Each structure stands twice: as structure tokens, then as C-alpha cells.
Amino acid sequence: MPVSWRYCTSPMVAWGIGGEGSFAPEHAGFPLGEDHGGATYFMMEMHYDNPNLRQGIVDNSGLRIFYTEKLRPNDAGILMLGHGVSPLYIIPPGQHWLSIGQCSGECLSKHLPESGLQVFAGILHAHLLGRNMTLRHIRDKKEQPIIIRDLNYDFNFQETRNFAEELTLLPNDYLITECGLDSTGRDGPSFVSIQ
């Protein structure tokens, strides 16, 4: 892989197992090309899972990206939230475990414009121990309505959820991601692998 591709870290499309795909609203799109401050190439990264080491499996999946020369009024992007992944993150066996990631106003103010941004969809992602997930929203020390929640998270159903109404995130907001894990079926600790 060319060294420059290691800097390709801004996702434009994300899909998880069980998902049907998603579309941006008609007033938002991802800019493409140098003239619009967008990407000039794409890198596609796929993660495969074959725990039973089955032979002869052929991937016939695909990805379809629609392009238009008509620039949409608003640029879209992906904001990833959660906790950092590290080999030091070890989940003990036989427990219900809560993992929390925080994104403070100090962090958001570095990345959001003063006017904030509009959020139109969300997707939750955890691995096999994940059982529930919640994204909390704090503004001026008051909790706002929960942005997205799944109390029965299923790894095999990771669908993008389009919100009925867009919500505004402001630079000084505070976001808390809660991920409930269940290791009661494990005899030993679970480790995070980084590749």
C-alpha cells in the first residue's frame, strides 16, 4: 500500500453487517475533487470475519456510490465517537461491563464551525460482546434528548438510522458514548486486537 494511503482516514461511507445502505438527504453531499476541497481518490477498506476458517468463500458484495455534478448546498461528513481502541483495553470474563467514551466541548470546538453542524443519521457499532449502546448529548450542563440508543444491540444488524428530524451539535456540547458489554459467557479475558 502506498505510504500516502495511510493518511486516508476520513470515512465517506460506512457499512456494518446487516445494514441495507444509506443515502444523504438531498441538501447534503460529500464534495469530490480538488476544486471543491474533496477527495481525489477513494480507498476501500473491508474487514472479513471467518472464525471457522471455511475454505472457498467468494465475496460478491459491492458498493455503489452515486455522483452528481450538481453541487449540493451542504457538505456532509462522518463524525466518529466512542472510546479509543488499545491493546491495553481488556474486558474481564463473567461480567456486565460498561465502557464510556467522552467528547468534550474542548474537543468538539476544534472540529466544528461556530454555527455547529446538523446531524441527520447515526450508526452504532460494537463487536460481539456489545449488548447496548447510547449516545448522550449535554449542552450547558443539561442533558438533551438522547441522540441514538439501542438497548438490544445485535452485531448482525448494524443499520444506519436516519433521524426523523436533524439535530444541531454546537462546538461547546458534550457527547457521551456508553457501550454495555456482556462477557458472562467467557472464561477468560477478552482482548482488543489492533492490526
DSSP letters, the chain, are --GGGGG----S----TT-------TTEE--BSGGGT-BSS---------TT--SS------------SS--SEE------S----TT-EEPTTSEEEEEEEE-HHHHHHHS-TT-EEEEEE-----TTEEEEEEEEEETTEE---SEEETT--TT----EEEEEEEEE-TT-EEEEEEEEE-TT-SS-EE----
Mean pLDDT of the chain: 86
Contact 175, 122 (CB under 8 A): no
Task: At 108, give phi and psi (nearest 5°).
Answer: -60, -40
pLDDT in tens, 25-40: 889 988 877 776 667 7
* Model pLDDT, residue 2: 77
Taking 70 as the threshold, does the pLDDT of residue 97 lie above it? yes
Four-CA torsion 95, 88, 129, 61, nearest 10 degrees: 180
**What top-level class would CATH report for the domain 3-191?**
mainly beta
Q: pLDDT band for 69, please (50, 70, 90 cuts).
A: confident
Per cent of the chain over pLDDT 70 is 96
* Model pLDDT, residue 193: 62
Question: Residue 122 and residue 160: Cα distance in Å, rounded?
Answer: 6
By residue count, the chain amounts to: 195
pLDDT in tens, 144-190: 999 999 999 998 888 889 999 999 999 999 999 999 999 999 999 98
Taking 60 as the threshold, does the pLDDT of residue 194 lie above it? no
Contact 159, 153 (CB under 8 A): no
State mean pLDDT over 2-10. Answer: 75
* Model pLDDT, residue 46: 78
User: Hey, what amino acid is at 127?
Assistant: H
Question: Residue 121 and residue 7: Cα distance in Å, rounded?
Answer: 25
pTM to 2 decimal places:
0.83
The residue ranges of every structural domain in the chain are 3-191
Taking 60 as the threshold, does the pLDDT of residue 195 lie above it? no
